[in-house]
Amino acid sequence: MSNIDLEGEYASKALHILNISGLEAGCSYDLDEADLSALRDVVGIHVPAKCKRATLREKLWFDELPYQVHTGRELSLMLEGKKPLSSFTEEYPLHGVSFIPESIFERYVTSGQFIKAEYISEHKSLEGDIYATHWVFYALRGEEWRINAYILLLKLADTSGWSDDFERIEGALLGYEIWQNEAYIKQKKHHSQ
């Protein structure tokens, strides 16, 4: 999966070619080989020839980090042994389609290469409403301790609030390096101001 920057005149041409009226916040669009060929040939955007599919979405603050986040690459990074733990979330109970990629991880759970765990966390909104989140974790065999540590982190955050130190622990559990966690925290603060 490749990242392709669409800015300025390229953006409007590309959206026109792809029949997309506009990028909506929080939405993404899966592009196939024909879409990428059109971007390459008609719009003139550099798309690596080996790229067979991509996702088009609006630019987000973490795209400016000095490293590539794991999002969307969890399975491949785990198979390469570069990511010890992946976590996915969705509302609970689910209203609509699940976006947790359980089907692509399942064969590795069945073979014993990955350990899977699920957790439901309940929260109270500022208005006092109760809502829940469904967490699905996948850990490399031998790294399953990270799941329990992550769940403990979530429980602690529920009582004391999320903090930069919790962000660092979460990043370490997910396989990010110390310098990456620091860059993430700095960038997140910059964009929340």
Question: Six-digit token pair at 12?
Answer: 């409007």
State how far the Cα of 67 lies from the Cα of 75, in Å rounded to an integer. 18
pLDDT at res. 1:
47
Q: What angle do CA 131, 63, 135 make, to 5 degrees?
A: 25
Q: Among 43-52, 82-91, 118-127, 148-157, whose mean pLDDT is lowest? A: 43-52
Where does the pLDDT of residue 21 fall: very low under 50, low under 70, confident under 90, or very high at 90 and above? confident
Residue type, 138: Y
